[in-house]
Amino acid sequence: MTLLEKIETRNAAVGIIGLGYVGLPLVFEFCRAQFSVNGFDIDPTKIEKLERGESYIKHLPSSLVAEASVRFKATTDFAQLASMDCIIICVPTPLNKYREPDLSYVMNTTKAIANNLRKGQLIVLESTTYPGTTDVDMRAILETTGLKAGEDFYLAFSPEREDPNNPQFSTRTIPKVVGGYTPQCLKVAKALYDTVVDRTVPVSSTRAAEAAKLVENIYRAVNIALVNELKMCFDRMDIDIWEVIDAAKTKPFGFHAFYPGPGLGGHCIPIDPFYLTWKAREYEFPTKFIELAGEINTAMPYYVVEKTVFALNEAGKSINGARVLILGLAYKKDIDDIRESPSLKIIELLQVRKAIVDYNDPYIPETHKMRKYDMNMESVPLTPETVAGYDCVIIVTDHTSYDPRFILEHAQLIVDTRNLIKIKNDNGKKVVRA
């Protein structure tokens, strides 16, 4: 039986490497499509929780784990890759301390696959990266086995497009871009994804697929940087950027609303554009828009802290020794993901200035050690007495559960980075936009 026939009859064994915000939703979709799925991860804690039927991601309830349990097995044993027909890689692609691509997770995973590679397998990378990663870097490692991509095994790239807790789009309903190393590689990869998503979008190569994902995130990063810059400009002119955007978006054509904020978060927008910037240097091409957008967006937490220092000063208080409460640690509303969250940088900057900082986040009860931050903090309760006890409350994430009236009533001073507190007149200057 060919691999295409195995896919069509749901007899192909699917292996998904990396059981995080991208990999775990894929597991559930393939199980729903009646495939047998093995999930691979180097974190034994995740494996133990899944074996107990527990989910560790807020917007993916444990009921999904139970639903998938008949067809799903989680493991740290990468030797089992040899028995997989289709292998999908969903591992992190962060930046190193020099803001250069760190492909160690992808390359180490590829080496593990190479150690177990056999004829007829399909290997798909979903992790965001620069063009050439799949057909050059990964292929070189896989072909050290003596097997040839496009002849002995299939190789493809299909970028993840997850948007955690988006009520309108899910893994199944988001169109899936697919690029193959050869036409036959594309055919097999497309056939696999056709079983779990409503629409696949085939492109001519793995490089085109890699570039498409970068363009999506660069588009957002540049436009967010634009409105962030306009926010700071209009602030000096005493113009409300939120009112301006609301007016501008009434135009039914030629304008798409982007909104300012305290900085970028998540694993995509703050990181992915720099993968292209780095690769472009190889071609002696300066990516000016990307780099400028990066500078503006990276500077936003500093702007928020400056506004906080100024607001406290206006209230007759010093940042040194001030008690500050951060509302929201997650990088966006109603999720439990703190990767690259601007809240972390804001906390760090405030602590450097000798402020006493706490946070509240209904989805993140405590912090843990991260690549760039080592914070040992617990979420404080949000009570009238708690809020009133802080010199300043900074709204960084506008979780739905945050009641603007409650915050406005009990906080002494509010620095609002998300336009959560919508009041027209604030003669007492209790609310400061940042």
The model's pLDDT over 291-341, given as tens digits with 9 standing for 90+, comes to 999 999 999 999 999 999 999 999 999 999 999 999 999 999 999 999 999
What's the pLDDT at 222?
A: 97
414, part of any domain: yes
Residue 88: closest CA among 230, 242, 195: 195
Residues 6+ apart with CB under 8 A from 302: 349
Number of domains in the chain: 2
380, part of any domain: yes
CA angle centred on 89, ends 83 and 95, rounded to 5°: 150
Could you tell me if 198 and 242 lie in one domain?
no
- Based on its alpha-carbon atoms, the radius of gyration of the chain, rounded to whole angstroms, reads 24
11, part of any domain: yes
Residue 126: closest CA among 156, 171, 85, 170: 156
What's the pLDDT at 163?
A: 87
| Per-residue burial over 129-164, b = 16 or more CB atoms within 10 Å of its CB, e = otherwise | bbbbbbbebbbebbbebebebeebbbbbbbbbbbbb
Query: Between these two residues, 409 and 375, which has the higher pLDDT value?
Result: 409
Which of the listed residues 173, 204, 235 is the one where a domain comes to its end? 204
Could you tell me if 248 and 182 lie in one domain?
no
Could you tell me if 370 and 421 lie in one domain?
yes
Boundaries of domain holding 130: 3-204
Residue 374's pLDDT band, with cuts at 50, 70 and 90, is: confident
63-86 pLDDT tens trace: 999 999 999 999 999 999 999 999
Pairing state between β 72-75 and 323-327:
unpaired
Could you tell me if 177 and 292 lie in one domain?
no
CATH of the domain at 345: 3.40.50.720
Give the C-alpha separation, 8 to 213, whole Å.
28
Whether 411 contacts 387, CB under 8 Å: yes
Could you tell me if 152 and 280 lie in one domain?
no
Residues with active-site annotation: 268
Whether the pLDDT of residue 247 is over 90: the answer is yes
Could you tell me if 302 and 355 lie in one domain?
yes
Could you tell me if 344 and 411 lie in one domain?
yes
Q: Which two tokens stand for residue 3?
A: 């691999």
213, part of any domain: no
Pairing state between β 176-180 and 154-157:
antiparallel
Whether the pLDDT of residue 206 is over 90: the answer is yes
323, part of any domain: yes
- What distance lies between CA 267 and its chain's CA centroid? 3
Give the C-alpha separation, 125 to 57, whole Å.
22
Which residue has tokens 């696959």? 113
211, part of any domain: no
| Separation in Å, CA 227 to CA 240, 297, 343 | 12, 10, 19
Which of the listed residues 204, 235, 261 is the one where a domain comes to its end? 204
212, part of any domain: no
Residue 101: closest CA among 132, 69, 58, 70: 132
288, part of any domain: yes
Give the C-alpha separation, 262 to 265, whole Å.
9
Contacts 24+ apart (CB under 8 A), 335-339: 335/58, 335/59, 335/164, 335/165, 335/363, 336/57, 336/58, 336/59, 336/363, 336/364, 337/21, 337/164, 337/266, 338/265, 338/364, 338/367, 338/370, 339/265, 339/266, 339/267
279-288 pLDDT tens trace: 999 999 999 9
DSSP 8-state class, residue 237: T
In the sheet with 13-17, reading across from the earlier edge strand, the strands are 72-75, 36-40, 13-17, 86-89, 122-125, 154-157, 176-180, 200-203
**127, amino acid identity:** S
Could you tell me if 349 and 274 lie in one domain?
yes
Which of the listed residues 155, 172, 204 is the one where a domain comes to its end? 204
Could you tell me if 363 and 407 lie in one domain?
yes
Residue 58's pLDDT band, with cuts at 50, 70 and 90, is: confident
Whether the pLDDT of residue 425 is over 80: the answer is no
If you average pLDDT over every residue of the chain, what do you get? Answer: 95
187-202 pLDDT tens trace: 999 999 999 999 999 9
Could you tell me if 16 and 45 lie in one domain?
yes
Could you tell me if 67 and 10 lie in one domain?
yes
Q: What is the largest CA-CA distance in the chain?
A: 77
Could you tell me if 150 and 289 lie in one domain?
no
